[in-house]
Amino acid sequence: MKFAVVGAGIAGLSAAYDLLGAGHEVVIYEAANQPGGLAAGFRDERWEWPLEKFYHHLFTSDKQIISLVKELGMEDELFFPRPTTSVIYDDRIVPFDSPRRWITFPGFNLLDVGRFGLVSAYLRFSKSWRTLEKETADSWMRRWYGDKIYEMTWQPMLIGKFGPYYREANMAWMWARLHVRSPKLGYFVGGFQTFVDRLAEAVEQRGGEIRLGSPVSRIESLGESGLRLVTADDEIIFDRVLATTSPGLLARIADGLPDAYTDSLRELKSMGAVVMTLALKQPLLAASNTYWLNIPAHSPDKSKNEIPFLALVEHTNYIDHKHYGGDTIVYCGDYVPADHAYFSMSQDELQELFTGVLHKFNPDFKPEWVRKSWVFRERYAQPVPGLNHSEKIPSIRTPLNGLYLASMSQVYPWDRGTNFAVEIGRQAAQLMLDDLK
């Protein structure tokens, strides 16, 4: 059989790898000029290793991607450091990533510590996420953690993540974040691009073809004769097509989907991501050795937040700066609606805005510390799971015969990430193979 996969991200590559392993022909179409999707990297001329455009790491519980890593013979290239995650409290950077640090957190008294620990333990070990999706994270955590703990810790994170939709996100999404996360964080020798390149190479070794710089403009149903896939250079008929795009993009390019189905795709809400990466001449968070700093957000539209981004990530407090020519690598990242001003601002404007607050984290910081900067933007980066979201997510098998969808919106209740991209891609491939039988 002849398969097409739209998108050479982790999900598309994983699906193609399995379809080829079953003996079928596969062509992957990717709009970008490199594979990897949100996990793709870039490299400055001074660096030994490439760096992710959007910050990435794995957890020790990420079984799906770790299994694929072993299949590719890369287990010796995956390692798990134990970096520090911190929060801002009373204008100070305070580590907040273990029970010991919860106990000593200056914002908690003994009752707060006990309550925080008990509720977090319940979420960590409970499996009843279907009950939790019937209530918003905002209401559930306010009730069980209490106003003080919730407003000090979780509410700012929800606002930062979902902006104007933060009161809509259901509690199952929060459960999933706490249920599988680990203090040790996984990274690849050579960065995630090494994993992407190895997976793409394995796809090609199995006979697959990856066409970069080839956005798909239309998918047309030909009934029992298959589907016609249209690009700027080609029109090719395939027996089956797997789209690993955003649901909204599939609704635009697939011809023949029922109106009710395309409406359901368009109704799925999501946030975009904007990340500025800075190569600094000096460390920024050396005093606390923090890798990941959660920034408190209190304004859903983000216009009144003191800090204009959600996360400050000093990558070189996690991975040795020797791999980046001695640069200190810092990410300033934010989740914003797809129509946010960050998508239209120039790189210079964003750099002035973001670096203009870095002295708050290190009083010695000066703009001259910035050797170079890069900006990456993606309008579909974080699905927003509302109440009873499991009833609203589209199935992998679409109503159009032979057309399948595997997207971040379907990994629910889990959060988007490379592990669940592998899982949804391989799950889609298995369903396509089962349907052939």
Spans in the chain with pLDDT lower than 50: none
Q: What is the DSSP string of 165-194?
A: GTTTSBHHHHHHHHHH--SSEEEETT-HHH
Provide the pLDDT for residue 303: 65
This prediction's pTM: 0.94
Instruction: State phi, psi for 90 to the nearest 5 degrees.
Output: 55, 45
Provide the pLDDT for residue 15: 98
Instruction: State phi, psi for 109 to the nearest 5 degrees.
Output: -95, -175
**Of 395, 58, 31, 53, nearest to 214 (Cα)?**
31
Provide the pLDDT for residue 302: 66
Provide the pLDDT for residue 298: 74
Taking CA atoms, 227 is separated from 107, 134, 426, in Å, by: 59, 38, 21
Side chain identity, residue 387 = L
Question: At a CB cut-off of 8 Å and minimum separation 6, what does 257 contact?
Answer: 250, 251, 398, 399, 400, 403
In Å, how far from its chain's centre is CA 395?
A: 20
Question: At a CB cut-off of 8 Å and minimum separation 6, what does 125 contact?
Answer: none
**Farthest CA pair distance, the chain:** 68
Q: What is the DSSP string of 81-123?
A: ---EEEEEETTEEEE-SSHHHHHT-TT--HHHHHHHHHHHHHH
**Of 355, 384, 390, 382, nearest to 370 (Cα)?**
355
